[in-house]
Amino acid sequence: MSRLLDVAAEIRAFEAGHIDPEQFDHAAHVRVVWCYLQLLPAADTLVRFTSALRALTERLGMPQKYHETITWFFVIVIANRVAGSASRSWEDFKRANADLIGNSSTLLKRHYSAGCLDSPEARRRFVLPDLAPAHR
């Protein structure tokens, strides 16, 4: 039960904006999404995470940093990987999904062209991938 309390506390801190923006890198984004998915279904995670992230960028005076397509893409991929994982540990998830943590742009570029991601429409609303995914 302690792990779930820690996860819930991390979500509350994120939603309240009690994070250090200098420390909130891509890995921290993935961690917060993973936390949500420990407690909520993917659809609820998508709604709550995107809302909190958008509010955070507004609060920090950087609303232009929010990108709807990139955010949705990673929430969906993380949710899919959490659902397919037998482990409930963040450390195990992180180890098994290094491509989400390290050079995440490689994963994104397999599904989206730069032109699509750079479009104002993709920034404003979720746009489906415009490239065929490579099959593993």
pLDDT tens series, the chain, 136 aa: 567 779 999 999 999 999 888 889 999 999 999 999 999 999 999 999 999 999 999 999 999 999 999 999 999 999 999 999 988 899 999 999 999 988 889 999 999 999 999 999 999 999 999 997 655 4
The reply to whether 83 falls in a domain is: yes
pLDDT of residue 5: 73
Position 121 in a domain? no
Which pTM value belongs to this model? 0.91
Full DSSP string of 12-81: HHHHHT-S-TTT--HHHHHHHHHHHHHHS-HHHHHHHHHHHHHHHHHHTT-GGG--HHHHHHHHHHHHHH
Residue 78 lies in a domain: yes
Within a domain: 68? yes
Whether 95 is covered by a domain: the verdict is yes
- Tokens 């593993």 sit on residue: 136
Number of domains making up the chain:
1
Residues 19 and 8: their CA atoms lie apart, in Å, by 15
* Any domain includes 114: no
Q: Residue 87, Cβ neighbours under 10 Å: how many? A: 11
Is 19 a member of any domain? Answer: yes
Which domain covers residue 78, as residue numbers? 2-102
